[in-house]
């Protein structure tokens, strides 16, 4: 009998371990149907920026008071696989009415499932909506910009007017002036440009290269990205001009940063007033006011601005886009969701989004200015309609990481000259698209 | 072999130099976790800027970093490693015993397949593995990817061959008379295994547990593919890669994260130094 | 006793019937594309119940076979699902245009042809071979010398042995970042004084050397342990005899120690060989394959330090070319299989000779 008890216990232990192995793992399980809440007075929003959770909840409360519609805010962030989670919601028939999408393949996931918002009032008030074959499917909630950022005070001290820096010659002239006054201005280098290929390939291969693709073009102009996606072709003339500009960045950059620097080093030095220019976009404003707060304050919390990467005469736009978009699920509570997004684009909500959440508004009618150092510069470009869109998100996978980032690094290290850079870019680009 | 005293001193000095070299990176990690970001970048070797409160600040900013989620990743790693090790030891022991004591054509075939599979590099199965797990998971309604049971199951599969190989070698050496005697006393086969054979396996199970444990705890590729590079469930190596590989290179946080990730291994090593070193050698020689 | 066995028989039959019913219902739900959440657990519980029913089935002559089946089942099942099925599928996929989710057509040897036309992949192969050779030689020499050091009767041998082995405990990812810090932030301060402003990781050749240094640092301690075990098996009386004969240390080393641990040398050689072939983590964390080659087979390469395992990973995961990556992996498998067969042959031959 005792034997039997022992064997039964053992069998039970085995069952438990098997159950641990298999059971309790059905979180992907589902219960049919695709639509979420049936209550027309409730909508659910999945937000991808957890840092603005409080502000969004405040907006939801304001909206409830005004209209009686409840908005549930579900914020995710901090390394959560948001798209994966939403796919799980989809399988479980628990879709939110509004959710976040960023990259092109993410929108492609939801092909046919996102509501077209082209008829909404806000759609004509912004250049930042995400538009694909399904129509206007992405609501822009913020704006980021790519331009050549500068330290206003240093330029002022050196007697340089940033509005005059409209072409490569003028910029080169300004760089020369700054370089000759380095000691007097207390700067280490004219520009903080980093072409490190392993961790910063995105800065060169994506953001800097985005200027080759889009700078100076109308927002719907896709000439160069189309050409690139057609077998990796690059326009020799435009690329040569671009290469000359990058060559200038190479020559005037901080040599300690240029080839093996890091993002932190780059931003810390800029925030400390050691560079007049930095080759990063508007997002560094957030880094300067949080991680590098002490250094930025010690350097006098100087004003900053942005000039276009004018590698050809006539380029007068910076690149702006929303970092991600909010989409409406077409089988959810579409009308209520659309109404909420429309409300978000209007004055009362914009005040909270801009002044409290720190977003740079993508809407032309918005008059508020975020506390971000780059907000003013960006708003000027947006309201003057001097912006281009960016299309580097549509480049082939791995294009910057495995191919062009390294070419920028070789160019910076002096292994390539301007011609060599152009030829190598063309060759590497074709190689990337060939397999 | 006798040695001259001078030789002895030379050897010891040589030993110290090599030890200094192998330990130097660890020293740098520990030293720099006592500094803030600026201190690390400006003076990574010296003692300038070292303070205990800074260490506490660094640890708390790593542990509380919502992008890193240290305790969660740590706990996940512990659960995955322990569950996999227990199941591998149990199922591996059971399978090895059957293969060893049941001399039929089938058990020989199974054994040969296990041995042959040890040369299969992970790269050749990783891509279809993910799609198989996804398809099977969707089909039967158990999520195999992005779940702890799924990855434990995978480790049982991948660790199985080596475990069975080492355990069969050991079981062969256990006299069969023991089992015969137990059978005559009326002991059932499963009783014989669990009460007589399994306890005898303790030393060799320690060996396979060490070998599997080091591999599973440090493994990056399998969890990064199965759980996603920055998914809901993540192990410590995946979390470190996601945290460190992201845009920002904050060395104060990275080095602290690295330190926190290696401390458990070092503590276990200090406790079970002999067993670990012997286990690693036995695993290689067999 | 009779009643007892009757009870177990009942229990067994109930469990078997319930288990099989559970399995059938769960599978039925699967095949009808139901999305009921309970179908997964039902399948698992059904399988367990069926196994338990089998276990309690009161039979004397078949009991042993039933136990054999139950004991083998869990590991074999996991092994088949994670290794055997993916291996077969993987070889199959390498002849198709599989994109990770579905395939539309067979391409025959198309993937294999295009991978050998890609200079970047050829470079990865050559680089891997170079890496393997360097590592095999360096790790074995360093490991052997360390083993000699650790078997000499110096003080604190245990401490030295432990500290040489320590790097082996740390996973490649964490270790890669630690060394990235050493190269980019510490070493650079030294080299800057000699006029080198860039990190050694910024140059393809020095970056490759850096990967070797890190790998030797990590692996030599482990190989040392195996050599220590080998050296301690050399019989003491043989060594004493040689010292009585007046042989000096070097003669003893080359004439006695090395020949007597030939088997250990074979083991270590192949261990370093196969592990260097599969190197992935350090490569990824330290350089992620960056580096350039100005002119290789007429093209400019941007994957200067990318070894084969990382190349496979990047091809499939980063660039989303699953079938091509799979074909490369199959090639990699064939190379490793050849190496392993060679190892078995050499070891067998040695054993016969000895």
Average pLDDT on B176-199 reads: 88
Task: With CB atoms and an 8 Å threshold, state whether A25 touches B144.
Answer: yes
Strands A135-140 and A130-132: antiparallel
Q: Are A75 and A216 contained in the same domain?
A: no
Q: Which of C108, C81, C117, A379 is nearest to B160 (CA)?
A: C81
Q: How would residue B39 be classed by pLDDT, with cut points 50, 70 and 90?
A: confident
Which of A283, A311, A345 is the endpoint of a domain?
Answer: A345
Average pLDDT, chain A: 85
**Interfacial A residues in 199-218 facing B (CB < 8 Å):** 199, 202
Which of B104, B128, B249 best tests the C interface by mutation, with the highest count of C CBs <10 A? B128
* Ordered alpha helix ranges (H), chain C: 2-31, 39-56, 63-79, 85-93, 110-117, 119-151, 157-165, 172-181, 188-193, 204-232, 236-244, 249-251, 258-260, 262-277, 281-286, 308-313, 322-353
Q: What is the pLDDT of residue A291?
A: 77
**Cβ-Cβ contacts under 8 Å, B243 against chain A:** 79
Which of B190, B229, B246 best tests the A interface by mutation, with the highest count of A CBs <10 A? B190
Q: Are C263 and C157 contained in the same domain?
A: yes
Q: What is the pLDDT of residue B41?
A: 77
Q: How far apart are CA B176 and CA B107, in angstroms?
A: 17
C13 close contact with B: CB closer than 8 A: no
Which of A10, A25, A75 best tests the B interface by mutation, with the highest count of B CBs <10 A? A25
User: What's the pLDDT tens digit per position in A238-295?
Assistant: 999 999 999 999 999 999 899 988 888 899 899 999 999 999 988 888 888 877 888 8
Q: Are C66 and C185 contained in the same domain?
A: no
Residue B65, exposed/middle/buried by CB under 10 A (0-12, 13-18, 19+)? middle
Q: Are A77 and A99 contained in the same domain?
A: yes
Phi, psi of C191 (to 5 degrees): -70, -25
Minimal CA separation from B53 to chain C, in Å:
22
**Cβ-Cβ contacts under 8 Å, C124 against chain A:** none
Q: Are A118 and A215 contained in the same domain?
A: no
User: What's the pLDDT tens digit per position in A383-392?
Assistant: 888 999 998 8
CA separation, residue A260 to residues A116, A406, C196, C213 (Å):
45, 12, 11, 19
Report the CATH number at residue C329.
1.10.3720.10
Q: Are A326 and A294 contained in the same domain?
A: no
Q: How would residue A12 be classed by pLDDT, with cut points 50, 70 and 90?
A: very low
- Say what percent of chain B tops pLDDT 70: 94
Q: How would residue B146 be classed by pLDDT, with cut points 50, 70 and 90?
A: confident
Residue C352: Cβ within 10 Å count: 7
Task: With CB atoms and an 8 Å threshold, state whether B150 touches A25.
Answer: yes
Reading across the β-sheet that carries A130-132, which strands appear in turn?
A: A70-75, A42-47, A98-101, A325-328, A135-140, A130-132
Neighbours of chain B (3+ CB pairs under 8 A): A, C
Q: What is the pLDDT of residue A23?
A: 35
Q: How far apart are CA A128 and CA A361, in angstroms?
A: 10
Q: Are A92 and A110 contained in the same domain?
A: yes
**Cβ A328 vs Cβ A337: under 8 Å:** yes
Task: With CB atoms and an 8 Å threshold, state whether A403 touches C291.
Answer: no
C5 close contact with A: CB closer than 8 A: no
Q: What is the pLDDT of residue B249?
A: 65
Average pLDDT on A299-304 reads: 92
Residue labelled with tokens 């004439």: C255
The nearest alpha carbon in chain A to B244 belongs to: A199
User: What's the pLDDT tens digit per position in A202-237?
Assistant: 899 999 999 999 999 998 899 999 999 999 999 999
Nearest beta carbon to residue C86 from set B129, B277, B285: B129
Average pLDDT, chain B: 87
Q: How far apart are CA A54 and CA B27, in angstroms?
A: 42
Q: Are C99 and C241 contained in the same domain?
A: no
Q: Are C86 and C179 contained in the same domain?
A: no
Q: How far apart are CA A74 and CA A76, in angstroms?
A: 7
Nearest beta carbon to residue A85 from set B68, B195, B232: B232
Strands (E) in A345-418, as ranges, are 387-388
- Domain limits for position A204: 146-321+390-434
Q: Are A280 and A420 contained in the same domain?
A: yes
Q: What is the pLDDT of residue C43?
A: 85
Q: What angle do CA C86, C92, C93 make, to 5 degrees?
A: 85
B286 close contact with A: CB closer than 8 A: no
Q: How would residue A304 be classed by pLDDT, with cut points 50, 70 and 90?
A: very high
Task: With CB atoms and an 8 Å threshold, state whether A79 touches B239.
Answer: yes
- Beta-carbon contacts of C25 under 8 Å, excluding residues fewer than 6 positions away, are C39, C42, C46
Q: What is the pLDDT of residue B153?
A: 95
Q: What is the pLDDT of residue B23?
A: 92
**Cβ B207 vs Cβ B201: under 8 Å:** no
Q: What angle do CA C72, C76, C77 make, to 5 degrees?
A: 115
- Using DSSP's 3-state secondary structure scheme, residue A381 falls into helix
User: Residue-wise over B256-286: b if at least 16 C-beta within 10 A, else e?
Assistant: bbbbbbbebbeebbeeeeebbbbbbbbbbee
A23 close contact with C: CB closer than 8 A: yes
- Say what percent of chain C tops pLDDT 70: 96
**Cβ-Cβ contacts under 8 Å, A196 against chain C:** 202
Task: With CB atoms and an 8 Å threshold, state whether C72 touches B219.
Answer: no
Minimal CA separation from B126 to chain C, in Å:
8
Which of C50, C78, C112 is the endpoint of a domain?
Answer: C112
The nearest alpha carbon in chain A to B87 belongs to: A17
Q: Are A283 and A337 contained in the same domain?
A: no
Q: How far apart are CA A289 and CA A297, in angstroms?
A: 9
Q: Are A186 and A57 contained in the same domain?
A: no
Q: Are A316 and A192 contained in the same domain?
A: yes
- Domain limits for position C101: 2-112
Average pLDDT on A415-433 reads: 93
Most confidently predicted of A105-114, A126-135, C242-251 = A126-135
Q: What is the pLDDT of residue C352?
A: 56
Q: How far apart are CA A280 and CA A306, in angstroms?
A: 10
Task: Say yes or no to pLDDT of A26 above 50.
Answer: no
Neighbours of chain A (3+ CB pairs under 8 A): B, C
Q: What is the pLDDT of residue B286?
A: 67
Q: Are C210 and C230 contained in the same domain?
A: yes
Tell me which of B6-10, B194-198, C64-68, C111-115 is least confident: B6-10
Q: Are C36 and C138 contained in the same domain?
A: no
Task: Say yes or no to pLDDT of A314 above 70.
Answer: yes
Q: Are C178 and C273 contained in the same domain?
A: yes
The residue ranges of every structural domain in chain B are 5-63, 70-246
**Cβ B234 vs Cβ A247: under 8 Å:** no
Average pLDDT on C306-324 reads: 89
**Cβ A415 vs Cβ C294: under 8 Å:** yes
Q: How far apart are CA A421 and CA A239, in angstroms?
A: 9
Q: Are A169 and A87 contained in the same domain?
A: no
Phi, psi of C103 (to 5 degrees): -130, 150
The nearest alpha carbon in chain A to B86 belongs to: A17
CA separation, residue C174 to residues B227, C220, C285, C286 (Å):
18, 18, 8, 10
Q: What is the pLDDT of residue B230?
A: 63
Average pLDDT on C147-154 reads: 84
Radius of gyration of chain B (CA): 24
Tokens standing for residue C275:
């592990």
Which of C52, C101, C198 best tests the A interface by mutation, with the highest count of A CBs <10 A? C198
Tell me which of A246-255, A314-323, B122-131, C41-50 is least confident: C41-50
Is A295 within a domain?
yes
User: What's the pLDDT tens digit per position in B42-74?
Assistant: 788 888 778 889 899 889 888 887 667 788 899
HEC states along chain B?
CCCCHHHHHHHHHHHHHHHHHHHHHHHHHHHHCCCCHHHHHHCCCCCCCCCHHHHHHHHHHHHCCCCCCHHHHHHHHHHHHHHHHHHHHHHHHHHHHHHHHCCCHHHHHHHHHHHHHCCCCHHHHHHHHHHHHHHHHHHHCCCCCCCHHHHHHHHHHHHHHHHHHHHHHHHCCCCHHHHHHHHHCCCCHHHHHHHHHHHHCHHHHHHHHHHHHHHHHHCCHHHHHHHCCCCCCCCHHHHHHHHHCCCCCCHHHHHHHHHHHHHHHHHHHHHCHHHHHHHHHHHHHC
Q: Residue C107 half-sphere exposure, CB side, CA atoms within 13 Å?
A: 19
Select the more confidently predicted residue: B41 or A201: A201
Residue C183: Cβ within 10 Å count: 23
Q: How far apart are CA A98 and CA A43, in angstroms?
A: 8
Average pLDDT on C258-276 reads: 89
Q: How far apart are CA C182 and CA B25, in angstroms?
A: 7
Average pLDDT on C57-85 reads: 88
Q: Fold for B70-246, please state it.
A: MetI-like fold (1.10.3720)
- Say what percent of chain C tops pLDDT 90: 38
Q: Are A181 and A138 contained in the same domain?
A: no
- Beta-carbon contacts of A427 under 8 Å, excluding residues fewer than 6 positions away, are C299, C300
Q: What is the pLDDT of residue B3?
A: 55
Tell me which of B279-283, C78-82, C146-150 is least confident: B279-283
Q: What is the pLDDT of residue B67?
A: 64
Nearest beta carbon to residue A401 from set C52, C55, C318: C318
Nearest beta carbon to residue B12 from set C75, C155, C173: C155
User: What's the pLDDT tens digit per position in B79-125?
Assistant: 999 999 999 999 999 999 999 988 888 889 999 999 889 889 999 99
Task: Say yes or no to pLDDT of C60 above 50.
Answer: yes
**Cβ A276 vs Cβ A185: under 8 Å:** yes
Tokens standing for residue B97:
């015993």
> Which DSSP string corresponds to A37-70?
---TTEEEEEES-GGGHHHHHHHHHHHHHHH--E
Query: Count of domains in chain A?
Result: 2
Contacts within 8 Å (CB) and 24+ apart, C249-252: C249/B1, C252/B1
Q: Which of A85, A81, A137, A139 is nearest to A113 (CA)?
A: A137
Q: What is the pLDDT of residue B247?
A: 47
Most confidently predicted of C36-40, C208-212, C245-249 = C208-212
Q: What is the pLDDT of residue A20?
A: 39
Is A32 within a domain?
no
Dihedral (CA of A296, A299, A303, A309) sign: negative
Average pLDDT on A327-342 reads: 92
B165 close contact with A: CB closer than 8 A: no
C68 close contact with B: CB closer than 8 A: yes
Q: What is the pLDDT of residue C219?
A: 93
Query: Count of domains in chain C?
Result: 2
Strands A189-192 and A275-278: parallel
**Cβ-Cβ contacts under 8 Å, C203 against chain A:** 413
A19 close contact with C: CB closer than 8 A: yes
Q: What is the pLDDT of residue C196?
A: 77
Q: Are C105 and C236 contained in the same domain?
A: no
Report the CATH number at residue A108.
3.40.190.10
Nearest beta carbon to residue A402 from set C44, C201, C303: C303
Tell me which of B91-100, B247-256, C139-148, C336-345 is least confident: B247-256
Is A372 within a domain?
no
Task: Say yes or no to pLDDT of A8 above 60.
Answer: no
User: What's the pLDDT tens digit per position in B149-168?
Assistant: 999 999 999 999 999 999 99
**Cβ-Cβ contacts under 8 Å, C332 against chain B:** 121, 123-124
Q: Which 8-state DSSP code applies to residue A368?
A: -
Task: Say yes or no to pLDDT of A21 above 60.
Answer: no
Is A247 within a domain?
yes
Task: Say yes or no to pLDDT of C351 above 80.
Answer: no
Is A291 within a domain?
yes
């Amino acid at each position: 009998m005792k034997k039997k008890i022992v064997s039964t216990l053992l069998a039970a232990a085995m069952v438990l371990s098997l159950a641990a192995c298999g059971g309790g793992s059905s979180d992907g399980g589902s219960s049919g149907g695709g639509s979420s809440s049936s209550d027309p007075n409730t909508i659910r929003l999945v937000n991808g920026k957890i840092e603005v959770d409080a502000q969004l909840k405040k907006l939801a409360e304001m909206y409830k008071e005004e209209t009686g519609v409840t908005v549930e805010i579900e914020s995710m962030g901090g390394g959560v696989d948001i798209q994966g989670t939403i796919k799980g919601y989809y399988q479980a028939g628990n879709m939110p009415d509004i959710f976040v999408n960023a990259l092109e393949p993410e929108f492609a996931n939801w092909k046919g499932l996102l509501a077209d918002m082209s008829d909404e009032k806000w759609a004509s008030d912004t250049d930042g909506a995400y538009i694909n074959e399904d129509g206007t499917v992405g609501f822009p909630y913020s704006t980021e910009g790519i331009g050549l950022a500068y330290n206003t005070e240093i330029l002022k001290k050196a007697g340089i007017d940033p509005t005059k820096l409209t072409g490569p010659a003028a910029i080169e002239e300004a760089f020369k002036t700054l370089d000759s006054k380095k000691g007097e201005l207390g700067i280490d280098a004219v520009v903080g440009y980093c072409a490190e290929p392993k961790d910063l390939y995105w800065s060169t291969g994506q953001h800097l290269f985005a200027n080759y693709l889009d700078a100076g073009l109308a927002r719907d102009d896709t000439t160069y990205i189309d050409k690139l996606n057609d077998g990796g072709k690059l326009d020799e003339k435009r690329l040569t001009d671009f290469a000359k500009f990058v060559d200038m960045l190479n020559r005037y950059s901080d040599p300690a940063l240029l080839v093996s620097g890091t993002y932190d080093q780059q931003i810390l030095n800029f925030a400390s007033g050691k560079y007049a220019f930095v080759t990063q976009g508007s997002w560094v404003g957030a880094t300067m006011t949080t991680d590098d707060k002490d250094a930025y304050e010690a350097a006098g919390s100087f004003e900053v601005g942005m000039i276009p990467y004018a590698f050809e005469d006539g380029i007068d736009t910076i690149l702006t886009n929303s970092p991600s978009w909010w989409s409406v699920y077409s089988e959810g509570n579409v009308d209520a969701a659309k109404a909420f997004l429309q409300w978000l684009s209007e004055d009362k909500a914009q005040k909270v989004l801009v002044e409290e959440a720190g977003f740079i508004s993508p809407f032309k009618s918005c008059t508020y200015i975020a506390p971000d150092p780059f907000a003013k510069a960006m708003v000027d470009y947006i309201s003057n309609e001097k912006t281009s869109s960016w299309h580097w998100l549509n480049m082939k996978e791995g294009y910057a990481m495995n191919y062009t980032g390294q070419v920028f690094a070789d160019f910076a290290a002096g292994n390539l000259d301007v011609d060599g850079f152009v030829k190598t870019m063309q060759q590497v680009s074709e190689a990337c698209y060939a397999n | 072999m006798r040695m001259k005293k001078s030789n002895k001193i030379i050897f010891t000095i040589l030993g110290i130099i090599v030890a200094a070299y192998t330990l130097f990176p660890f020293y740098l990690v520990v030293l720099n976790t006592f500094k803030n970001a600026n201190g690390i970048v400006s003076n990574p070797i010296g003692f300038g800027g070292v303070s205990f409160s800074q260490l506490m600040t660094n640890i708390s900013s790593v542990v509380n970093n919502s992008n890193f989620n240290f305790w969660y990743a740590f706990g996940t790693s512990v659960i995955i490693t322990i569950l996999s090790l227990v199941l591998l030891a149990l199922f591996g022991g059971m399978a090895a015993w059957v293969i060893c004591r049941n001399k039929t054509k089938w058990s020989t075939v199974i054994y040969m397949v296990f041995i042959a599979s040890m040369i299969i590099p992970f790269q050749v199965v990783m891509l279809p593995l993910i799609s198989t797990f996804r398809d099977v998971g969707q089909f039967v309604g158990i999520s195999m990817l992005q779940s702890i049971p799924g990855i434990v199951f995978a480790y049982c599969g991948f660790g199985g061959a080596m475990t069975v190989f080492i355990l069969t070698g050991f079981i062969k050496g256990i006299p069969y008379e023991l089992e015969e005697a137990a059978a005559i006393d009326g002991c059932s086969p499963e009783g014989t295994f669990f009460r007589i054979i399994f306890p005898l396996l303790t030393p060799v199970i320690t060996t396979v547990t060490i070998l599997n444990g080091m591999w599973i705890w440090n493994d990056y590729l399998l969890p990064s593919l199965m759980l996603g590079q920055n998914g809901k469930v993540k192990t410590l190596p995946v979390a470190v890669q996601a945290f460190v590989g992201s845009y920002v290179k904050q060395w104060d946080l990275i080095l602290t994260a690295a330190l926190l990730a290696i401390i458990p291994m070092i503590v276990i090593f200090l406790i079970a130094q002999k067993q670990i070193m012997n286990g690693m050698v036995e695993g290689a020689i067999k | 006793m009779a009643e007892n066995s009757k009870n177990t028989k009942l229990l067994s039959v109930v469990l078997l019937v319930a288990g099989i019913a559970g399995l059938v219902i769960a599978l039925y739900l699967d095949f009808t594309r139901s999305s009921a959440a309970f179908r997964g657990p039902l399948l698992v519980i059904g399988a367990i119940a069926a196994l338990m029913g089998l276990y309690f089935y009161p039979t004397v002559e078949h009991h042993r076979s039933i136990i054999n089946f139950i004991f083998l089942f869990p590991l074999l099942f996991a092994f088949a699902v994670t290794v055997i099925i993916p291996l077969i599928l993987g070889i199959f996929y390498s002849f198709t245009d599989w994109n990770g989710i579905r395939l539309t057509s067979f391409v025959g040897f198309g993937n294999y042809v295009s991978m050998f036309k890609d200079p970047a992949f050829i470079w990865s192969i050559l680089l891997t071979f170079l890496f393997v050779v360097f590592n095999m030689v360096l790790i074995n020499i360093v490991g052997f010398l360390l083993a000699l050091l650790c078997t000499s009767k110096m003080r604190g041998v245990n401490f030295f042995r432990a500290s040489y082995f320590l790097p082996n405990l740390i996973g490649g990812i964490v270790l890669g970042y630690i060394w990235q810090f050493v190269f980019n932030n510490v070493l650079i301060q030294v080299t800057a004084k000699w006029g080198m402003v860039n990190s050694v990781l910024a140059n393809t050749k020095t970056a490759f050397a850096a990967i070797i240094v890190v790998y030797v640092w990590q692996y030599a301690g482990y190989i040392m342990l195996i050599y220590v075990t080998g050296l301690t098996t050399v019989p003491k009386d043989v060594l004493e005899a040689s010292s009585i004969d007046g042989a000096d240390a070097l003669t003893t080393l080359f004439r006695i120690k090395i020949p007597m641990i030939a088997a250990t040398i074979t083991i270590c050689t192949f261990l370093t060989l196969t592990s260097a072939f599969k190197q992935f983590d350090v490569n990824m964390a330290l350089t992620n394959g960056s580096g350039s080659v100005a002119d290789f087979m007429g093209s400019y390469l941007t994957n200067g330090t990318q070894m084969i395992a990382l190349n496979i990973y990047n091809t499939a995961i980063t660039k989303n070319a699953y079938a091509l990556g799979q074909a490369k992996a199959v090639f990699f498998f064939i190379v490793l299989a050849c190496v392993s067969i060679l190892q078995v042959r050499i070891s067998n031959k040695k054993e016969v000779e000895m």
